[in-house]
Amino acid sequence: MTDSARIELLKSRLRRYLDEIHRWEEFGFPDSDTVFRMQSKLTLIREELAELTHPQLALT
């Protein structure tokens, strides 16, 4: 998969996760385990984007 395709895939996942978070704001926040899992998903996206856009800054 090309870098630009990976970036588009990550952007799509990020939009989906942000939509879910906006629903939480509207209907109430879930339990702490669910919030922690979402935080983990968002951290992975951030790390993948960092690798693709600024490889020298990516966490190892």
Q: pTM score, two decimals? A: 0.79
Residue 15: what pLDDT?
A: 95
**What does the pLDDT average to over 15-38?**
95
Does pLDDT of 59 surpass 60? no
The total number of residues shown for the chain amounts to 60
Does pLDDT of 56 surpass 90? no
Residue 1: what pLDDT?
A: 84
**What does the pLDDT average to over 3-22?**
94
CA distance 16 to 57: 26
